[in-house]
Structure formats: C-alpha cells, structure tokens
C-alpha cells in the first residue's frame, strides 16, 4: 500500500483507476503507465467498468421517489405504530398483573416449579437491575479490553463466546462480569450503553438440555427481557426498551453468538 516512491503496486493502479490517489502519487502512476501499456490497458478496462456501472444505475437517481419512501410520512407511521406497541405493552402488563395475582392466590392449590426459562429470565432481570445502577463499578472487566474480556468469559462459561457488536443499534460495549448461576454453573453479564446513558445487558449461561431453544419475551415494570438459546448458550437480553428495539438488538446479538453456524457468512 505504501510503496517505495519508484515502485508502483497494483494497489496504486487500483486507486488511480478509482480516482483515489493524491496528486503527487498520481503523477508517478501516470508516468509509470506511459511506459507500461499492458498496465495502462488494465487501468483503462477498470475505468470502463466504472463507467458501465454508472451508466447502468445512475438513472435511478433521477427517478421520481415513490411516496412511500417519504421520511416525514414514515416518521408519522412509525410514531403511531409505536403508540400501538405501547398500548399492547400496557395490556400485556395488566394481563400479567392479573396472572401473577391469580398465581399468587392460587399458589396453595397448585404447586408448580418455575420453568427453567422463567428462572433464567428472572435472574437476568435481577442482575440487570443490580448492576446497571452501579455508577462506579458496573463491570469487572471494561469493554476496552475486549480480547481479555472474551477469553475470560469464555473460560468461565466453558463456551467460545464473542462479544456482539451493537454499535449499529447505537450501543457501545461497557464490559462484563461473571455471576453465580443456578445449579452451580456460572453466568456472564455483558453490558452495553447508548450515548444517552441507556443500558442494555446480556445474561449468558451455558445451555443445559432442559432449557428450551424457543424465544421468549417478557416485561417486568419498565424492563423487557428477551430469552434465546442455541446449542451452546442461553442469552437473555434485558433493557428498558420497546419490543421492536429489543428485537433489533436481538437480531445482532443472536447473529454474533451463532457465528459458528455453517450459514453464517457475514462478520
């Protein structure tokens, strides 16, 4: 990429064809091309490709934009959509309160142990409430030491983990810690934070056979939790977010945690 001043590399030729060379370098490349017609032909062919690609797709820019892509209209639609979600959430919470009361008063009638999923999600919610409110020591290992954090959490859970990148959703890695989990295993909590201070945590445990792979969503107070598992780990995402936002984050998280799947192609 940074060649000696009189060696011209393929990278220089490419950058020249793409118009990305600075002036001094450009002159050197032009002098070189004058003496190497076969290279000049290659660069000309690349430029012809660029022209063809432009000719193919540039007309799209002057097309009329369909009304459905008007951002103001979409914003309006998104808002009313979110309101609907909010109403649904209220309904869900009311139903849950009703259900919990029913369960509480009926506890003597039927004694049934909590499902493994519920137990995990409860633990994840508790851990979230405990540690996201810690201003000073929210994590044991900061996200700046990603490699160390990854190794340490992977060793603690005996699973190969990766720290999902949520920057596209606006969240930066704060760091992680380990916690005792049910039946003598270890759980890992990984914390993320948005620019506005909003925090999201992932609660990871090694997967045991009794834990289902089905996704489960639950809300408790302000917090929402989304449970998911693959063959290796369970992951519960906790945050003070709408279901749509949770699912957007979830798709990034699950993708990252499933990186070893054969069909996973994108990094």
Partner 1 sequence: MSEFLDEVEDHIPALRRYARALTRNADLADDLVQDCLERAIRKQRLWRPTGPLRAWLFRILLNIYRNDRRRLRFTAHAAIDTLPVEPSVQAAQPHRLALAEIAAAIDKLPDEQREALLLVVLEGMSYAGAAGILRIPQGTLMSRLHRARTTLKKITEGSEEPRLRTVK
Beta-strand pair 216-220/233-239: unpaired
User: From the CB of 14, what's the least distance to partner 1, in Å?
Assistant: 5
Q: CB burial class (10 A; 0-12, 13-18, 19+) of residue 238?
A: buried
Q: What character string, x for contact with partner 1 (CB under 8 A) and - otherwise, covers 65-84?
A: xx-xxxxx-xx-xx---x--
Q: Is 89 in the site for partner 1 (CB under 8 A)?
A: no
Measured in whole angstroms, how far is the alpha carbon of residue 48 from the centre of its chain? 38
Choice between 100 and 244, CB closer to partner 1:
244
Q: Does 37 bind partner 1 (CB under 8 A)?
A: yes
Question: 140-159: which residues touch partner 1 (CB under 8 A)?
Answer: none
Contact 166, 192 (CB under 8 A): yes
Sorted by sequence, the CB contacts under 8 Å of residue 71 that are 6+ apart come out as none
Taking the complex as a whole, the smallest distance from the CB of residue 38 to partner 1 amounts, in Å, to 9
Q: Beta strand pairing status for 233-239 and 199-206?
A: antiparallel
Of 168, 183, 197, 262, the one binding partner 1 (CB under 8 A) is 168
Which is it for strands 223-229 and 199-206: parallel, antiparallel or unpaired? unpaired
Question: Taking Cα atoms as reference points, which of 141, 130, 30, 83 lies closest to residue 22?
Answer: 30
Query: Interface with partner 1 includes 262 (CB under 8 A)?
Result: no
Residue closer to partner 1 (CB basis): 82 or 145: 82
Report the C-alpha gap between 126 and 20 in whole angstroms. Answer: 53
Smallest gap from Cβ 34 to partner 1, in A, equals: 10
CA 119 – CA 131 distance, rounded (Å): 18
Measured distance CA(117)–CA(216) in Å, rounded: 8
Binder of partner 1 out of 52, 93, 94, 102 (CB under 8 A): 52
Helices (H), 204-265: 243-257
Q: How near is the Cβ of 79 to partner 1 at its closest, in Å?
A: 9
| List 4, 22, 60, 197, residue binding partner 1 (CB under 8 A) | 60
Residues at the site binding partner 1, with contacts judged by CB under 8 A = 1, 10-11, 14-15, 17-18, 20, 37, 40-42, 44-46, 48-50, 52-63, 65-66, 68-72, 74-75, 77-78, 82, 165, 168-171, 194-196, 244-245, 248, 251, 255, 263, 265-267
């Amino acid at each position: 990429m940074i060649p000696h001043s009189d060696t011209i590399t393929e990278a220089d030729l490419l950058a020249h064809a793409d118009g990305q060379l600075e002036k001094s370098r450009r002159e050197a490349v032009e002098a070189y091309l004058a003496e190497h017609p076969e290279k000049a032909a290659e660069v000309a062919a690349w430029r012809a490709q660029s022209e063809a690609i432009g000719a193919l797709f540039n007309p799209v820019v002057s097309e009329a934009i369909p009304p459905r892509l008007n951002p103001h209209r979409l914003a309006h639609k998104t808002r009313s959509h979110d309101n609907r979600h909010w109403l649904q959430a209220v309904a869900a919470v009311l139903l849950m309160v009703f259900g919990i009361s029913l369960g509480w008063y009926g506890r003597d009638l039927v004694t049934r142990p909590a499902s493994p999923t519920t137990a995990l999600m409860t633990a994840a919610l508790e851990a979230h409430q405990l540690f996201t409110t810690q201003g000073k020591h929210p994590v044991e290992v900061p996200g700046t030491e990603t490699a160390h954090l990854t190794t340490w959490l992977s060793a603690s859970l005996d699973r190969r983990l990766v720290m999902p990148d949520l920057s596209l959703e606006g969240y930066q890695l704060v760091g992680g810690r380990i916690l005792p989990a049910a039946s003598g295993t270890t759980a890992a909590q990984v914390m993320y934070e948005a620019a506005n201070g909003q925090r999201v945590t992932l609660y990871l445990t090694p997967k045991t056979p009794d834990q289902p792979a089905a996704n489960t969503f639950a809300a408790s107070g302000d917090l929402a939790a989304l449970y998911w598992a693959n063959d290796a780990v369970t992951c519960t995402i906790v945050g003070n977010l709408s279901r749509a936002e949770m699912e957007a984050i979830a798709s990034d998280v699950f993708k990252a945690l499933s990186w070893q799947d054969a069909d996973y192609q994108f990094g």
